[in-house]
Amino acid sequence: MPNERRQFRVLYRDFLFRMVDIELLSAAGDVHKLLAQFGAMLAAFGFTITVFTLGPLVRSSLPYEKLSFALRTEQEFLIATTMAIAGLFSVLAWNAVFPDRRDSLILGLLPIRIRTIFLAKVAAIATALGVSIAAVNLFTGLFFPFLAAPPNAGLLGGLRSLGTHWLVMAAAGLFVCSVLLALEGVAAQFLSYRLFLRVSSFLQLAAFFGILGLYFLKPSFSAVAQSSWPARFLPSFWFCGLLQVLNGASGPQFGTLALRALWALPTALSTAAATFALAYRRNIRRIIEQPDIAPADRSKPATRIGSYLAAKLLAKPIERAIVLFTARTIARSRQHRLLLAAYTGIGLAIALAYARDFFYRSPLADARHLDPRWNQLNVPFLVASLVLLFFAVIGARGVFAMPMALQANWIFRITAVHSPAAYSAAVRKALFALTAIPIWILSAILFSAIWPGRFAWQHVAILIVTGILLVETALHRFRKIPFACSYLPGKAKLHIRLGTVGVVFLVAADLGVRIEYWAMHKTARFAVLFGILLAAAIWASRRTAEFARSPANQLQFEDLPPAEVNALDLRSDGAWSRDEAYVDAVDPQPQTPVKPVLPSA
């Protein structure tokens, strides 16, 4: 008889390794390093929150009653942050919850019980979720509970506050994860496998943007009454009320919120357990019996319109091929769509943070004389369009480097008869067509409809030159055909760069929008700003074109680690010229054929 415990450990390790995107893992790492790096990213985020919020509370000289009121607001914010992190983890692990076709084909033939596979998957999900919750609360969970304890509570009171804090944080994260698991389980239970794959992608994206929207647009706990309608529909308010009741706070409003939390948590947990278990047993069988999503029918109007526009707007066949291949790959790949949505979601989160002024009057906006009315020139819409443009371009650039059908890249290898400059120009047009141009068109329609014409077209002009600058900068030294090159995990080192780049970008975006807002009120100011951006865009375009035409440039199909021994490349000057190897260097004008001379008999 096989050892079920050993089977469980092997499956648990494999499922846990695939729970989080492999990009977080270095090339030579293992699952322990993966969890450590993932936890370090979240812990750094929690440390930042602690530094910016704990200091003013510790130095405050307010009496305990007023200090506890401020602490409740911070506690609700920490609960909401924990729920958002747990929700985003559940969304990112959406495709790893159920077994894929490879798991079903391999594990279905082995003498392994479905119960063992199911328990290993549940244990992997619970471990990753626990690491997420513990990491984001590592610093806040050690300081805020003792600060929230009454002055005369003593050590036992502080330990009680510490225990209730971690208990409520775990319950809040478990609630969000259970809701999303239940949603996916219900869809998998009642839909066919092919329809589930189609609907699941939209549910995943809807949950992703819904979590971000709710987190950034919800009102503050101190800004609304705990008995008003927002408190009745916001889960973070429920668990904040539960925390207050467990800490001994008085007030009927806290009891009502705590009852909602105590009712919602077991309901979500039981629903998730039932639907997930039933759908898991059903899915592992029908994945083999039912086909995956078939390629889209090219006879459909949308596909025919896209092909027609590509044929009319792109004269060269190589450009049409690259643009259509890129668009169709993103449309068919759930992983690439999710990664692109993650980048766009970051931009949406920043835009929503600025858009709070539309719903809740901001004293800071009044102090800066920034009009928050949506039908006038305002900073939130300026930030939203620029930030979405930035993250759409950067996200698509990152997605281009991730392989999709790596086994088929030999087709590009044997048909790479054009110069690298031709492929570079095609990739630039693909990035423009998928990111910048749609945002330019939508921005022109939206802003010309709600803003005065002068401000609308000024901002559209800024978006155009900024988009050109972003695209040319993002594709500098990019020598790959999208989705056709292998990828070396860990190159981006997100656990190191994410925090630094995020802070720098936030500061730069805020400063840039303030400058644009200031310049748009005077024609001379705007002309100077537009001229600077236009000059930068022209410089970036020329730099990218020069690199593409460089004799040392060539297409890259394998992403290899740095070589330990570097070759000196001592070929003679009389070697075969690379330009003669591409059809671009051949004279396009056909020459007069020469009649061959046959030898006489």
- The pLDDT tens digits for 83-107 are 999 998 888 788 777 777 777 777 7
At residue 150, φ and ψ (nearest 5 deg) are -60, 155
End-to-end CA distance of the chain: 84
Mean predicted lDDT score pLDDT of the chain? 77
Using the predicted structure, report yes or no on whether residue 299 has a pLDDT greater than 70: no
Query: Which of residues 587 and 243 earns the better pLDDT score?
Result: 243
**Is residue 169 over pLDDT 90?**
yes
313 pLDDT above the threshold of 80: no
Average pLDDT over residues 322-346: 81
Q: In the predicted model, is pLDDT for residue 403 greater than 90?
A: no
What is the pLDDT, as a whole number, of residue 596?
45
Residue 210 in this model has a pLDDT that exceeds 60: yes
The candidate with the shortest Cα–Cα distance to 459, out of 506, 498, 409, 512, is 512
Q: Name all contacts of 351-359 with Cβ < 8 Å and 24+ positions apart.
A: 351/380, 351/383, 351/384, 351/387, 351/388, 352/212, 352/213, 352/216, 352/217, 353/216, 354/379, 354/380, 354/383, 354/384, 355/216, 355/217, 355/380, 355/384, 356/216, 356/217, 359/217, 359/219
Find the mean pLDDT for residues 250-278: 87
d(CA 82, CA 10): 30
Query: Which structure tokens are listed for 405?
Result: 């059908």
Prediction pTM value? 0.75
Q: What are the C-alpha distances in Å from 91 to residues 185, 205, 213, 388, 397?
A: 13, 8, 14, 21, 22
Give me the pLDDT at residue 226, please.
Answer: 57
Looking at per-residue pLDDT, the higher value among 252 and 184 belongs to 184
CA dist list (Å): 502 to 47, 133, 496, 508, 560? 15, 21, 11, 10, 28
Which pLDDT value is given to residue 364?
42
User: Is residue 324 pLDDT above 70, yes or no?
Assistant: yes
306 pLDDT higher than 70: no
- Residue 537: per-residue pLDDT: 93
